[in-house]
């Protein structure tokens, strides 16, 4: 009975270890995405600042309906 219990614990440990490795890979990918998005935001801010301010916003009133 003791040996069976140890084998079951080793199996559970192996599954948990694999699960942690998968979670770690997900966290690494998410961090890369966050860093890329932060860079994109900084690039957008630089573009807005280099153009002398915020681009004018458009409203629905500025667009003609499709039947005109």
Q: Is the pLDDT reported for residue 31 higher than 70?
A: yes
- pLDDT of 50 reads 84
Task: Tell me what the mean pLDDT of segment 20-43 comes to.
Answer: 97
Delimit the domains of the chain by residue range: 2-47
Which residue in the block uniquely carries the two structure tokens 């005109």? Answer: 68
- DSSP at 53: S
Q: How confident is the model at residue 64 (pLDDT cuts 50, 70, 90)?
A: confident
Please answer whether residues 48 and 54 qualify as being in contact, where contact means their C-beta atoms are separated by less than 8 angstroms. yes
Task: Tell me what the mean pLDDT of segment 7-33 comes to.
Answer: 97
- pLDDT of 34 reads 97
């Amino acid at each position: 009975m003791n040996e069976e219990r140890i084998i079951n614990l080793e199996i559970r440990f192996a599954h948990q270890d694999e699960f942690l490795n998968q979670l770690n890979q997900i966290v690494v990918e998410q961090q890369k995405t966050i860093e890329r998005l932060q860079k994109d935001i900084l690039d957008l801010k630089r573009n807005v600042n280099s153009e002398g301010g915020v681009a004018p916003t458009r409203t629905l009133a500025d667009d003609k309906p499709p039947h005109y």
